[in-house]
Chains A and B, each alone.
Chain A
Amino acid sequence: MMVRKVMIAVLAFLAFAAEAVSADLPPEPLSHAGMVKAAIEQYIIPHIDALKAATAPLPDAVDNVCKTGSPEAEKALQEHFDKAVIAYAGVDFLRFGPMLENGRREQISFWPDPRGFVARQMRLLLLNKDDTIAQPGAIRKQSAAVQGLPALEALMHDKNVPLGPGDAAHYRCLVAHAIAINVASLATEVADGWEKPDGWADKMLHPGPSNDTYKSNSEAAVEVVKALIVGLGLTADLQVKPQIDAKVRLTPPYDKSGLQKAYYATSVASLHQLYDVLNLESWLPPDRLWMKDWVVGTWRTLESSDGVGGHMPHAKREDAPTLREVFDRTNGLRNMVANRLSVAAKLTVGFNELDGD
């Protein structure tokens, strides 16, 4: 039943996102300025706002569980939590601008966590029992590992001391509430960072010599294309690869809540939406139009997988793609965007500049 609810939440999110990009795509190539505008208006802002909206109910939902301990309250908290995670999956790869400021990305969603920092730091926090954790902003002074959604999930799923009324869970409830407020605040800060006058949207929409980040429309457009490339890489390397390479031991995202499939589905759907918004294919010369068919087949493959080796319900492909195929196709698409489509669109995404080293 819970899985069904989650998938309904995913589908609701995707329907919202699809609506956000439902405007007919222009038949002509978008200019670089047009790409940036489209990405901001049709993808980034709607998804950032969705994260803000999805995280806002978390503090009250935590409070309700802590006051009543009722199954209904627990269920409601889990549903709100799932929606917040799904909303975050839609912006996980927007690793620039307000999400980078003050390390907000790690604070909202400290994953991957191969060293188990969330559990370790949470143990320390619970041992210390410092009541000042309830004070505004106190949680921000803690490790990023205990500030966000994975830390809240850990408290929600600790069967030894479940959240609820009573002394045993009192301090945990203080921490959970502080985390929930923090996540909602961080999402609000990210949204404000994008949307305020002279915020990041303005910065991207108005490049020039006096702009300290983007000197041209091309630079701003490259930023968005890089996010798409980063997102494809994250999906392949962190969500799919651990399942096909025995040497890679990585707990899936939000595993305690059973959100691995939902996270994958949202990641793929979100990347597909951003890809469509950018409309890079419209720049392809006639002799390269075969790439469009390859890309269509690749999205079909990725969206026909449930992300764990099974078949996505209502998928366009009848068979379940193997995870190896999903991994290879995702990397292939990453390379296609980085080395072919961006070049066709006269956007130069550098080999060395992409992620530093």
Chain B
Amino acid sequence: MNSMAIDRRHVLLGTLAFIGATALRPAFAGAATTAAYVTAARLADGSFGILLLSADGTVLREVPLSARGHDIAVDQASGRVVVFARRPGAFAVSFEINKSTPPHVFTPGEGRHYFGHGSFSQDGRLLYASENDIATGMGVIGIYDVARSFKKIGEHSTFGMGPHEIMLLADGKTIACGNGGLDTTPEAGRENLNVDSMQPSLTFVDAESGKLLAKHEMTGNVKSLSIRHVTQDAKGVVWFGGQWEGSPSETPPQIVGSVGLDRPFKLLEPQGKGGDDLKGYIGAMAVSNDGRFIAASAPKAGHVLYVDTETATVIGRSNLKDVCGLAAEGARDFAASSGFGVIRYETAQASKISERALQDVAFDNHLRRIA
């Protein structure tokens, strides 16, 4: 059983500790009973769960998990969320934000495991999940019928190995797949089996037919840049963040870039030793609600990088130890969460607005806005 029908509302209210000197913005402060964010987390007793948070960081609901979760797909219209197991896990848990019905657990089927990410179709009828065909190591997009208790009804190829984040783009028809290029199997845990021959790519796949629309491969001096996370700006450009798997001395100066269906990838211009400063790993990406600004978290470095998509330049960089989860807030601001239980609001210019911490709670890699 991957999730229990236990719904411990408000259990962690007493653990809140305010650590910011800045008062919460009024827009955040008055909404303590409305769920605004969802995230996977490690809880105070060392177990794992999903947390629903209000805008001021209050835990409103906790759904226990038997193992570590990763990202969450959100269907805003229905209020339904699905959290995926961290790779190489093989469970997903669905529940509805505003109902107390028990969570529903489903799996990717024999010979598959999840990579931790997925995306709903725009009408909320289908769920797409990034999965591993364990026998071949090739990536697949699992397709699930939401109305039929997430019955798996099909698969598309991701046209690459080791997909991580997949995202249904704003056109509602195209899925962007961050193919990390890494071969893994559950038997070998989290070990990468093909670092010397990895072929990372970012592919665009037709959500209905499964046809490959475009494939952009990482080659040359970035052939070891494993594509991990993606987001899309207002103009439809896809932005990605990678994880460097090559020699430390060859870490590229930048590991965040952009790509389009009809144009090859382009890394950001280095701002000094960007790749080194980010310690070779982008843990999450998010776009501001107005679509202009991109945030990329670098948990190993403890930074969030902010990019103005109009100019493709870095306009801010904040510091937060083990920061990873990112979500849009307001028109142009962001919320960031950390493995040390901190949730912080800041502008795209990296100015801190407010900050709170939950004691003994570690927020997992991804944070999603749900209201």
Q: Which residues of A contact B (CB under 8 A)?
A: 96-97, 100-103, 106-107, 112-115, 117, 143-144, 212-213, 233-234, 237-238, 241-242, 247-250, 335, 339, 348, 350-353, 355-357
Contact = CB atoms under 8 A, between A and B. Distances in A.
A356 B243 contact: yes
B185 A115 contact: yes
Nearest to A236: B189
Contacts of A96: 248
Interface stretch (B23-31, B72-80, B192-200): B192-200
B116 A100 contact: no
Nearest to B247: A101
A348 B187 contact: no
A357 B182 CA distance: 11
A103 to B, nearest CB: 5
A30 B276 CA distance: 28
A350 B247 contact: no
Given A350-B340, A352-B365, A353-B279, 4 more contacts: A242-B187, A348-B322, A351-B322, A353-B299
Nearest to B226: A356
Contacts of A113: 193
Interface size range of chain B in the complex: 35 or more
Interface string B314-327: 00000001111000
Given A212-B276, A351-B42, A357-B365, A250 B164 contact: no
The interface residues of chain A, by DSSP majority, are classed as loop
28 contacts: A101-B247, A101-B248, A112-B193, A114-B185, A114-B188, A114-B193, A115-B137, A115-B183, A115-B193, A117-B194, A213-B248, A242-B187, A250-B187, A339-B46, A350-B300, A350-B321, A350-B322, A351-B322, A351-B362, A351-B363, A351-B364, A352-B339, A353-B281, A353-B299, A353-B300, A353-B322, A353-B339, A357-B87
A173 B301 CA distance: 47
B273 interface: yes
- Residue from B248, B321, B363 having most chain A Cβ neighbours under 10 A: B248
Nearest to B189: A237
Given A114-B188, A238-B189, A352 B247 contact: no
Contacts of B187: 112, 114, 242, 248-250
Interface string B281-301: 101000000000000000110
- Residue from A106, A247, A356 having most chain B Cβ neighbours under 10 A: A356
B193 A352 contact: no
A143 to B, nearest CB: 7
A97 to B, nearest CB: 7
A351 B195 contact: no
B269 interface: no
B283 A357 contact: yes
Contacts of A106: 195-196
Given A351-B322, A351-B362, A352-B283, A357 B228 contact: yes
Contacts of B279: 353
Nearest to A96: B248
A234 B188 CA distance: 9
- Residue from B70, B276, B323, B324 having most chain A Cβ neighbours under 10 A: B324
A335 to B, nearest CB: 7
Interface string B353-366: 00000000011110
B134 to A, nearest CB: 9
Contacts of A348: 321-322, 340
Interface string B221-252: 00000001000000000000001001111000
A267 to B, nearest CB: 15
A352 B228 CA distance: 14
Contacts of B8: none
Contact of A212 (B164, B273, B281, B302): B273
A54 to B, nearest CB: 24
B363 to A, nearest CB: 8
Nearest to B135: A115
B186 A248 contact: yes
Contacts of A114: 185, 187-188, 193
Give 9 closest A-B pairs by Cβ, nearest first: A350-B322, A351-B339, A351-B362, A352-B324, A352-B299, A114-B187, A237-B189, A112-B188, A353-B299
B112 interface: no
A103 B194 CA distance: 10
Contacts of A248: 186-187
B321 A335 contact: no
Contacts of B191: 112, 238
A348 B322 CA distance: 9
B156 interface: no
